[in-house]
Structure 1
Amino acid sequence: MSTTVTPHRLILGSTSRYRRELLERLRLPFEVDAPCVDETPHPGETPAALAERLALAKARDVAARHADAVVIGSDQVADLDGAPIGKPGNHERAVEQLRTMSGRRVVFHTALAVVRSASGFERVLRVPVTVRFRTLQESEIETYLRAEQPYDCAGSAKSEGLGIALLDAIESDDPTALVGLPLIATARLLREAGIDALRSRE
């Protein structure tokens, strides 16, 4: 039976089940630790800058408790004409978000940070995904929200589920970025940190 050996502990600094499921695709052993970070935007902060700051803050927070581990932090902020759109939290806000995004282009900024405190390793990058929403009917919004209840998804857009039917197009260099963790970028930063998903397999 094959096993994967990594030179460092790997920790996902996130409570998101979506990110956990995505990271499992790399078949690397990892732990999960929830970061404690205030996600309130700073005055005048752009959605892109907010996503990067929060991703790094999450990774740093968890790395402070696990200095020898390689820690992944990530955050996603939807951007509609420069205004940030976060997780709706409830049905009413989700309806409002989808009404606002109907027929428009929205950029989902997914930021990724990898930190290892012991060695001073720290990298952060952002993968934008441009999404074009269809012009949505009220009945379509309600059908989607009742089926998926995507209240923990930025912009209420659960593209890996029924949310794909809300869209006309997705433009991205990394297809997993919209779900919450850009795996192409994650694999690259992990290699830089000393963890290679395609090596050390016996």
Structure 2
Amino acid sequence: MTLRTLILGSTSPYRRELLQRLAIPFEVASPNVDESPRPGEAPAQLAQRLALAKARAVATNFPEAVVIGSDQVADLNGEPLGKPGTHERAVAQLRQMRGKTVVFQTAVAVVCLQGGFEQTEIAAVKVKFRDLSDTEIENYLQTEQPYDCAGSAKSEGLGIALLDAIDSDDPTALVGLPLIRTCRMIRAAGIPLLSAPGGQP
């Protein structure tokens, strides 16, 4: 049996680092998907739609491969907060979130066109933010510059100091790729895990 190639449909260094924990070979491809939300689209729906769109976009070019797509949207009382992109937007996001509980919706999709396989799952992570001062927000942003992170919160870095509590059943989800769900889905798609020392098949 020939093993299928595993492709991460993301150029995010955070997702790449997370997937490397599984000690299996994979390739990386850019999905080139428009991430704009649709009018009235709920954060969880947006994350799932984009994760699947990213996986499908890459799978179109590699139909024999197993492709992972993922997306994360911060949900503040039903309002989606994506990647800020700029310092000013990051300041505005963190001011909105201080003292509040935000749900980070992290979706993952696995697609193999040749195998007729397509699954999506979402991991919701509840995050309680401290009542941050403007000085704390500014110092955090100058140090971490998390402008490519949903909600400006880079929890694997200094962003952990912004928080009071994290509630999740998939601890890697907040970083950007829920590995428990990802493992379950890629195994179902035919990618073996833990089949030999070092994770190699």
Equivalence for 1:88: 84
Q: Deviations over 1:159-187 (max 9, x none)?
A: 00000000000000011000000011111
Change (3 A) 1:6 1:174: farther
Identity of aligned residues (%): 68
Distance 1:6 1:159 in 2: 38
The answer as to 2:163 corresponding to 1:163 is: no
The answer as to 2:171 corresponding to 1:184 is: no
Instruction: Please report the TM-score for the alignment, with normalisation by the length of structure 2.
Output: 0.96
Distance 1:88 1:44 in 2: 20
Distance 2:27 2:104 in 1: 26
Equivalence for 1:107: 103
Task: Decide which of 132, 139, 145 is 2:141's aligned counterpart.
Answer: 145
Task: Decide which of 13, 20, 27 is 1:24's aligned counterpart.
Answer: 20
Task: Decide which of 30, 36, 41 is 1:34's aligned counterpart.
Answer: 30
The answer as to 2:17 corresponding to 1:9 is: no
Equivalence for 1:69: 65
Distance 1:6 1:94 in 2: 46
Equivalence for 1:79: 75
Q: Which amino acid aligns with 2:36?
A: T
Q: Which runs of 5+ in 2 are unaligned?
A: none
The Cα of 1:44 is off from its aligned counterpart by: 1.1
* Stretch deviating more after TM superposition (108-117 or 37-46): 37-46
RMSD: 1.2
Indicate if the aligned counterparts of 1:6 and 1:195 stay in contact, CA closer than 8 A.
no
The Cα of 1:7 is off from its aligned counterpart by: 1.2
3-state SS of paired residue (1:8): coil
Task: Decide which of 50, 56, 61 is 1:60's aligned counterpart.
Answer: 56
Q: Which runs of 4+ in 1 moved over 6 A?
A: none
Q: Which runs of 5+ in 1 are unaligned?
A: none
The Cα of 1:196 is off from its aligned counterpart by: 2.1
The answer as to 2:134 corresponding to 1:154 is: no
Distance 2:144 2:20 in 1: 22
The Cα of 1:79 is off from its aligned counterpart by: 0.3
